[in-house]
Amino acid sequence: MSEAQFRRWTAGRVQTLPGPEACAVLEHMFGVDVAALFDAPPSVAPEPAFNLEDEIAMTARDAQSEAAEAAAAVISDTTLDQLRDDVATLARTYTSCAPFDAFKRARELREEAETARGRTQVPAQAQELLIVAGQACALLATAAFDLGSLDGAKRLCRSAALYGETARFDPLRAFAGGTLAYVAYFSNQPTEAARLARQAQMVTGLGDVARRRLAAIEARAFGYLGDPLSAQRALDASQADAQGATDDLHDGVAGEFGFTAERLAMSNSSTWLLLGDGSQAETAAVRALELAAQRPAPQRSVQVVGGAAADLAAARLLRGDLDSAADALEHVWPVPSDQRATGLLARTARVRRALTAERFRGAVLTRELGERIEDFTRMSAQHQLGTGSGPVTALEG
Are the C-beta atoms of 315 and 269 separated by less than 8 Å?
yes
- 82 within domain boundaries: no
If you ran DSSP here, which 8-state letter would residue 391 be given?
A: -
What pTM does this model have? 0.80
Angle at 142 between CA 306 and CA 217, to 5 degrees: 70
Q: Per-residue pLDDT tens for 253-307?
A: 999 999 999 999 999 999 999 999 999 999 999 999 999 999 998 889 999 999 9
- 23 within domain boundaries: no
The reported pLDDT for the residue numbered 115 is: 95
Cβ neighbours around 254 below 10 Å, total: 16
Report the chain's terminal Cα–Cα distance, integer Å.
108
Q: Which domain holds residue 349?
A: 264-397
At residue 348, φ and ψ (nearest 5 deg) are -70, -30
- 377 within domain boundaries: yes
**Alpha carbon distance 375, 379 (integer Å):** 6
Three-state DSSP class for residue 299: helix
At residue 9, φ and ψ (nearest 5 deg) are -60, -45
Q: Per-residue pLDDT tens for 45-63?
A: 556 666 777 777 777 676 6
- 307 within domain boundaries: yes
- 356 within domain boundaries: yes
The reported pLDDT for the residue numbered 15 is: 73
5 against 167, higher pLDDT: 167
Number of domains making up the chain:
1
CA distances from residue 155 to 138, 161, 220 in whole angstroms, order as listed: 10, 10, 22
Query: What average pLDDT score do residues 358-375 get?
Result: 95
If you ran DSSP here, which 8-state letter would residue 76 be given?
A: -
The reported pLDDT for the residue numbered 388 is: 58
**Which residues, in sequence order, are CB contacts of 73 under 8 Å at separation 6+?**
119, 120, 121, 122
**Alpha carbon distance 38, 231 (integer Å):** 101
Which range has the worst mean pLDDT, 72-86, 171-185, 186-200, 224-238?
72-86
Q: Per-residue pLDDT tens for 109-164?
A: 999 999 999 999 899 999 999 999 999 999 999 999 999 999 999 999 999 999 99
